Chain A
Amino acid sequence: MRPPPSVRPAPSPTRGTTAPTTTGVRATAPAAPRRARPRRAVNLPAGVGATLWLLVVVLPLYYILVTSLRTPDGYLGDGALALPGTLTLDNYGRVLGSGFARLLLNSAVVTAATIVLVLALALPAAYAIVRGTSRAVRVGFSLFLLGLAIPAQAVVVPIYLIITRLQLYDSLLAVILPTVAFSLPMSVVVLTSTLRDVPDELYEAMTVDGAGPARTFTRLVVPLARPGLVSIGIFSGLGAWNGFLFPLVLTQSPEQRVLPLGLWNFQNQFGTDVPGLMALVVFSALPVLTLYLFGRRHLLGGLTAGFGK
């Protein structure tokens, strides 16, 4: 098998004004004499490549959606990519009836708690790193940076040990604690760079007004850090919502199951009910899809938190 049909290494137009010719094959003449509005050259190979990639992206999504609407007979008979003969919402109803609410609630709790904890822990730390004078904090910051390189996979065994010793095994808290810990390094780094952008004069002004660190924090740091807070809120929230490894290793019972684990369990339990599984996949993506539709900029910013600059 070969790699996916890909954009061939054809030249892609870069940004802004490229060659002011209409064909765009080769702009040999320096600046055409009549300077009409430079028309953007059409880049055919790149357009074809991008369309091919679009096909690769959309086909599986189409499959998920269409399969989730098929009847059991339709799934077995229609062919995977054919338009379905009869559409049905039964699959969604069946999934809703088989404990979806529990999965949703658990995932929501884990996500919300992770976001709250990460924000509450990371912002004060970033404040101390940027404005503090303590040497210990600086050393601590480099440890956080080290943490960016630790793969969670490599430490699941000791985390399992720690969680069982804390008597937290098979609880939502068992999932929340390590999830927060592994969101912290990136969050602290992002918030630190946000706070570094705040002009010193603002801090000085607060001090001149007699404000202590606590007041400066609530009056100045929190409002000015808002863009960074939104970014890392989304970043850590997505990590918690999609997280699979920690729930897999640290929970067991159906009562503590979160959505990604629920997907796997559904497949293990009702292996042949693929339309049902796809309906569950669609359900699990709905909250993030809503965020994408109404706050695309924030969502994408949160995804690439740390690559802002």
Chain B
Amino acid sequence: MTTAVPALGRAPADRRRHGRPGALWAVPAGLFFTAFGLAPILVVAYLSLTRWNGLGDPVWTGLDNWRALRDDADLTHGIWTTLLLTALCWLVQTPLALLLGVWAAAPQRNRAVLSAAFFLPLLLSTAAIALAWQSLLDPNFGAAATLGPWLGAPDGNLIGDPDRALYVVALVIAWQFVPFHTLIYQAAVRQIPATLYEAAAIDGADRVRQFRSITLPLLRHTIIASSVLMIVGSLTYFETILLLTGGGPGTETRVLPLHMYIKGFVGFDMGYASTLSVLLVAVGTVLSVLIVRATGYHRMASDREGL
């Protein structure tokens, strides 16, 4: 909205409309997004009520797919695995990215050089990272054969062990995404006014105290934003898992989105896959709304008030 003062001698309304873009300017983007972003949500809800093998036409079956959810033994496990992995990823990535970001934000030369190296994983695609790690974790020829004994796996089989697989997956995901979150924290820390630290130093606050009393509180919004990205983004981890373990060993690392993919595009039960998709959309939306509400992020209150 503009608050510009209308030019003299003309009716304000007339002035304000002149030279303004009409709604037509937004139509192409709107249509595009509707066709491939919004319409699919409606279509997926419809497909969840049908039987469809990917070819031919979907056949209406009412609530059959929804009833089938009850008998899907992999589903409960999948939900549990998804929650566990999301929690693991958050627990590993947030402290790491936060500390690294704070560390990398300082102006020292050596830190600038090191952080340039920190960001290197950002240059690789998910597929490249997952496949490189897969061969790295190969119990016979990969580094896992050498490092495995140190990490408590004498046979080097880190990724094929049902008890360890999910943790290894979380580590690979952390390797891929910590640089991204570090980048976000680094930028946020650099916006904290130096005067705050100077004042704290004069008051005799040491480094730990400064971190706790200045850095952490002022990064509150960044922590929330980064966490939202991580939690909503945890649905995208499925590409890594598909390439790294295929959901195995057994179904040990089969998260919900991967379960959906396997049902739909491997088992060609697209109707049931759609039902799982509806669950995913619902969970994703509810989760983001809850986080945003619970943290008051939507009010966008400034954390720099009085500065």
The number of residue pairs between A and B whose CB atoms lie closer than 8 Å in the complex comes to: 378
Interface size on B, as a range, is: 35 or more
> Nearest Cβ in chain A — how far from B300, in angstroms?
11
A31 beta carbon closer than 8 Å to chain B:
yes
Docked CA distance A50–B179 (Å) = 12
A200 at the interface (CB under 8 A from B): yes
* A304-B184 contact given A1-B152, A14-B210, A157-B264, CB 8 Å threshold: yes
- Give the interface SS of chain A, mostly helix, strand, loop or mixed: helix
The 3 closest A-B pairs by CB, nearest first: A181-B36, A16-B194, A158-B43
- Residues of A120-154 whose CB lies within 8 A of B: 120-122, 124-125, 127-129, 131-134, 136-137, 140, 143-144, 147, 149-154
| Proximity bits, B182-219, A CB within 8 Å = 1, else 0 | 01100101101010011001111111101100110000
Contact (Cβ within 8 A) B122 A24: no
**Contact residue among A10, A200, A263 (Cβ-Cβ distance under 8 Å from B4):** A200
- Shortest beta-carbon distance from B239 to chain A in Å: 5
Q: Is the CB of A203 within 8 A of B19?
A: yes
Q: Contact check: which of B43, B106, B204, B278 meets A30 at CB < 8 Å?
A: B204
Distance between B124 CB and nearest chain A CB, rounded to angstroms? 5
- Quick check: is A223 within 8 A (CB to CB) of the other chain? no
How many angstroms between the C-alpha atoms of A72 and B152 in the bound complex?
29
Cβ contact within 8 Å between A9 and B99: yes
B141 close to A274 (CB less than 8 A): yes
Q: A185 contacts B33, CB within 8 Å?
A: yes
Given contacts A50-B100, A81-B146, 6 further A-B contacts (CB under 8 A): A11-B206, A12-B207, A46-B103, A64-B132, A281-B128, A289-B123
A18-B201, A151-B232 given; A129·B26 CB < 8 A: yes
- B284, A154: Cβ atoms closer than 8 Å: yes
Residue contact A125 to B280, C-beta cutoff 8 Å: no
A193 to B100, CA, bound (A): 28
Pull 20 A–B residue pairs with CB atoms less than 8 Å apart, ordered by A.
A13-B102, A14-B207, A27-B204, A57-B117, A60-B132, A120-B28, A128-B24, A149-B288, A150-B285, A154-B280, A157-B260, A160-B54, A204-B4, A207-B19, A216-B21, A241-B125, A259-B125, A264-B127, A284-B128, A303-B122
Chain B interface: which of A83-91, A93-101, A225-233, A242-250? A242-250
Docked Cα-Cα span, A184 to B35, in Å, equals 12
Least distance between B84 CB and chain A CB atoms (Å): 14
In the bound complex, what is the Cα–Cα distance between A121 and B35 (angstroms)?
Answer: 14
Do B126 and A244 touch across chains, with their CB atoms under 8 A apart?
yes
Contact A244 B125 (CB under 8 A): yes
**Residues of chain B at the chain A interface (Cβ within 8 Å):** 2-4, 7, 16-26, 28-30, 32-33, 35-41, 43-44, 47, 52, 54, 58, 91-92, 95-96, 99-100, 102-103, 105-108, 111, 114, 116-128, 131-136, 138, 141-143, 145-146, 151-153, 158, 164, 167-168, 170-171, 174-175, 179-180, 183-184, 187, 189-190, 192, 194, 197-198, 201-208, 210-211, 214-215, 225, 232, 235-236, 238-239, 243, 257, 260-261, 264-265, 270, 273-274, 277-278, 280-281, 284-285, 288
